[in-house]
């Protein structure tokens, strides 16, 4: 499933691996958080922020950013870092979801929205048209809102990717997740290191003004040189934004944490990635692929372009 780190799936029935002192999650609070939470409950909608119990939820919502999930809760893939329910949705789709989501987001008074979903390989286009329809509905309700899509790789089918490009999201994200050597161990066999790179490259080639973005989990056994190679590969295909976060094992069924990366090491990766030319880098133990700082940066860049 795109966009979800394993620690973001709430599970209480397993013995948790001891965590270092720097990994602390504060319970969400605040007026804006409570307001958005109440609205979502009334409309019977959920966000990845809630489903994943994201540690940055209140911070992001207070800043006008939220991540919503489309196309149900059952993923057709089974990545070994993720505890999201896996199975066959058998083509079931809520056809009215784009309209519902457009209305809900229009009522949330947000400045930035991230649309993501489970992988839907059971659908002819992987859900690409559903994404595109949702983008259009949101723009109708709130033309000023900035839209990011955090998608699956659509099995590398560029015709499906093109549907999303034509809907003109401001940011297109697809997570590479880990280094090349660990990809087969970490991700579903239908995903792929080079497949993700090709999708991001295609988006940039077809729509140069669309910002491309990806995320890397650390702590899975990767080496420094492998991370550097991944960053170089991403820059070679023009990827604009990268985020680094700590992998945390959600249940005993998923991969074990090989290393708890220190905050100092995360800062080192941030500096190195910035030197490579990424427009923005968010890096830290609790940073997630939709971390608000990246959205704030992109928001500023996009707004400047609008003024020109």
pLDDT tens digit string along 168-211? 999 999 999 999 999 999 999 999 999 999 999 999 999 999 99
In a domain, 156, yes or no: yes
End-to-end Cα distance, the chain: 37
Could you tell me the strand order of the sheet in which 65-70 lies?
A: 65-70, 112-117, 146-150, 171-173, 211-218, 241-246, 280-283
Structure tokens at 262: 């220190």
In a domain, 240, yes or no: yes
Compute φ and ψ for 122, nearest 5 degrees: -80, -15
| Contact status, residue 258 vs residue 217, Cβ threshold 8 Å | no
- pLDDT at residue number 59: 58
70: nearest Cα among 98, 92, 90: 98
- Between 82 and 10, whose confidence is greater? 82
In a domain, 117, yes or no: yes
In a domain, 109, yes or no: yes
In a domain, 118, yes or no: yes
Contacts of 131 (CB under 8 A, 6+ apart): 70, 115, 117, 149, 151, 163, 164, 167
In a domain, 90, yes or no: yes
When divided into structural domains, the chain yields a total of 1
Global pTM reads 0.85
In a domain, 17, yes or no: no
pLDDT tens digit string along 6-52? 444 444 444 555 788 777 666 555 666 666 667 666 666 555 555 44
> Domain with 223 in it: what CATH number?
3.20.20.70
242: nearest Cα among 168, 184, 183, 171: 171
pLDDT tens digit string along 234-290? 999 999 999 999 998 888 889 999 999 999 999 999 999 999 999 989 899 988 776
In a domain, 18, yes or no: no
Per-residue b/e over 143-162, b at no fewer than 16 CB within 10 Å?
A: eebbbbbbbbbbebeeebbb
62: nearest Cα among 7, 116, 108: 108
Structure tokens at 296: 């704030």
Q: Can you give the residue range of the structural domain that contains 251? A: 26-307
């Amino acid at each position: 499933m795109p966009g979800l780190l394993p620690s973001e799936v709430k599970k209480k029935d397993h013995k948790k691996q001891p965590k270092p002192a720097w990994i602390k999650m504060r319970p969400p609070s605040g007026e804006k958080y409570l307001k958005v939470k109440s609205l979502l409950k009334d409309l019977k909608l959920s966000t990845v922020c809630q489903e994943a119990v994201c540690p940055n939820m209140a911070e992001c919502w207070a800043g006008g950013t939220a991540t919503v999930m489309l196309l149900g809760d059952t993923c057709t893939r089974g990545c070994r870092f993720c505890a999201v329910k896996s199975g066959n949705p058998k083509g079931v789709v809520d056809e009215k979801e784009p309209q519902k989501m457009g209305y809900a987001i229009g009522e949330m008074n947000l400045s930035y929205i991230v649309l993501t979903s489970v992988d839907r390989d059971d659908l002819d286009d992987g859900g690409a048209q559903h994404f595109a329809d949702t983008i259009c509905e949101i723009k109708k309700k709130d033309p000023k809102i900035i839209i990011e899509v955090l998608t699956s790789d659509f099995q590398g089918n560029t015709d499906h990717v093109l549907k999303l490009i034509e809907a003109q999201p401001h940011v297109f994200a697809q997570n590479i997740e880990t280094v090349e050597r660990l990809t087969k161990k970490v991700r579903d066999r239908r995903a792929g290191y080079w497949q993700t790179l090709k999708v991001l490259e295609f988006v940039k080639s077809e729509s140069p003004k669309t910002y491309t973005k990806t995320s890397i989990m650390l702590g899975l056994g990767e080496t420094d040189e492998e991370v550097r190679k991944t960053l170089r590969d991403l820059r070679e295909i023009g990827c604009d934004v990268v985020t680094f976060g700590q992998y945390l094992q959600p249940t005993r069924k998923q991969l074990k944490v090989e290393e708890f990366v220190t905050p100092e090491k995360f800062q080192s990766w941030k500096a190195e990635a910035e030197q490579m030319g990424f427009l923005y880098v968010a890096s830290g133990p609790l940073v997630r692929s939709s971390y608000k700082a990246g959205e704030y940066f992109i928001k500023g860049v996009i707004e400047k372009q609008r003024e020109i």
